Structure 1
C-alpha cells in the first residue's frame, strides 16, 4: 500500500534535494521518499508483545513495600514542625 503526499518545500530545501538527487542519479521524489522512509522506519518501531512484557517485568522489579515499625514523624504536621526547626537552625558549631 502506498499514499501520494504533496509537499510544499522552501526553495532552500527543494534545491538541496534536487542537487543531492542529481549527485546520486535519482529523481528528487525518489530521494525525498527514501529519506522520509529511512527517518520514520526508526521512529515508528512498534515493540512486540514479548518486548512489552519484558519491559513491564523490568519495571515491576522496582515494586516493593515499605514497612516502618516506628511510624512516628510521618504525618504532615510533624514533618512541617521538623522543617521549621531545621530552617531555623544555622548549623553553627558550639
Structure 2
C-alpha cells in the first residue's frame, strides 16, 4: 500500500531536485520518493517484527558464498600489503 504526501519546498530545494531528476531521467516526485525511501531504510528495518527480521536475514544469508572468485583471497595484512606492492610496482606493459 502506498500513501501520498504533499510537501512544500523552498524554490532552491525544488530546483536542485528538479535538476538532479532531469539529469538521471526521473521526475522530481520519483527522485524525492527514492531519496526518502533510502533515508528511511534503516527505520523500516526497525519496524519489522522478529519473524519478519528473521525471514529478511535468511533471504540475505542465502547469498553468502554465492560469489566464486576463482582464487583464494587472504584477509591478513601481510598478504594484502604484498599484493599492493606487486600491483603498484607493475608497469602492466605487455598485459
- The TM-score, its normalising length taken from structure 1, stands at 0.48
